[in-house]
């Protein structure tokens, strides 16, 4: 009798676990469908032939943190380019300063790079970043920065090491280890005017918080917690990645994403034109970064 009860209990637990996994899998698939937004102009002029993800080619991603508010098209306040190479299992990441002075592709005018989103959405940002970095962008992922609050709250806050004492939006941030909830985290990554390193300090805090979120996600051991995360993602994240492509990338590029090298563009200078402040990139530094990314994507030897 005891054996039958044990088998019944084990069978029940197996069924519950299987149902939970299936539910999360099906929820992920439906959420990705909600997030999926094909680009109007998917092909890049910087690739001679389209990529075949089944062949595990090096890939590039453009991550956008978009500040969208009511009655406002918004701006891409955070622009991060990621290249991943599954052959040598490495990933390179670089933040593009939001005030970078460059040509906005599609308008053929010089302006701040983050204004490209307001003028032409993700497509114009993608084309402008491709032109600036001289590489193809294969996939784009954008998140509404207000949705960032929900993401941090969904992982029950994050712990980070703060290297600057400051106050912003009624929040006080002390030196050393601090715990951040959603609104605190958003104010933390947005602040730049009181930072002696300006936008570069802001970029560094963004990386710290993103890494903390990633580590928190890895620590979750309950499939039910992902329902809240998926709800946040479905409402606030948009990407041209399909569900099948996500699964393939997770399987084939997981090791490469674990070996990260951070690059930077910080040898430029500020310039005021018609009363507006711009960041002008250093040509030599930009060309060096372009070559590194092109080589990493195996576009150059």
pLDDT in tens, 24-72: 566 677 777 777 888 887 678 888 788 899 999 999 999 888 877 666 6
Q: Which tens digit of pLDDT belongs to each residue from 215-252?
A: 777 666 545 566 677 777 777 788 898 888 888 888 89
Give 280's strand partners: 269
Q: Are 89 and 268 in contact (CB under 8 A)?
A: no
Q: What confidence category does residue 17 fall into, taking pLDDT thresholds of 50, 70 and 90? A: very low
* Phi, psi (degrees; rounded to nearest 5) at 106: 110, -25
Mind listing the pLDDT tens digit for each residue in 112-135? 999 999 999 999 999 999 999 999
Tens of pLDDT, residue by residue over 136-156, are: 999 998 888 777 888 888 888
């Amino acid at each position: 009798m005891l054996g039958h009860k044990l088998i019944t209990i084990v069978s029940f637990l197996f069924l519950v676990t299987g149902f939970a996994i299936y539910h999360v899998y099906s929820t992920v698939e439906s959420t990705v469908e909600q997030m999926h937004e094909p680009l109007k102009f998917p092909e890049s002029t910087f690739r001679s032939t389209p990529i075949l993800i089944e062949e595990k080619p090096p890939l590039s991603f453009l991550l956008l943190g978009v500040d969208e508010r009511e009655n406002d098209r918004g701006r891409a306040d955070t622009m991060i380019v990621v290249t991943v190479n599954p052959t040598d299992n490495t990933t390179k990441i670089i933040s593009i300063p939001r005030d970078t002075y460059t040509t906005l592709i599609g308008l053929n005018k010089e302006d701040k790079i983050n204004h490209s989103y307001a003028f032409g959405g993700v497509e114009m940002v993608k084309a402008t970043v491709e032109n600036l970095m001289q590489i193809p962008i294969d996939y784009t992922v954008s998140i509404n920065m207000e949705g960032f609050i929900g993401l941090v709250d969904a992982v029950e806050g994050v712990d980070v090491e703060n290297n600057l004492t400051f106050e912003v939006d009624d929040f006080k941030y002390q030196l050393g280890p601090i715990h951040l909830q959603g609104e605190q985290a958003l104010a933390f990554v947005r602040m730049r005017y009181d930072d002696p390193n300006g936008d570069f300090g802001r970029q560094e805090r963004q990386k710290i918080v993103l890494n903390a979120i990633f580590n928190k996600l890895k620590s979750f051991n309950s499939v039910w917690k992902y329902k809240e995360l998926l709800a946040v993602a479905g409402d606030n994240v948009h990407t041209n990645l399909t569900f099948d492509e996500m699964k393939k990338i997770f399987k084939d590029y997981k090791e490469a994403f674990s070996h990260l090298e951070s690059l930077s563009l910080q040898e430029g200078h500020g310039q005021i034109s018609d009363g507006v402040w711009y960041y002008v990139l250093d040509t030599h530094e930009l060309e060096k970064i372009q070559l590194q990314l092109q080589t990493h994507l195996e576009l150059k030897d």
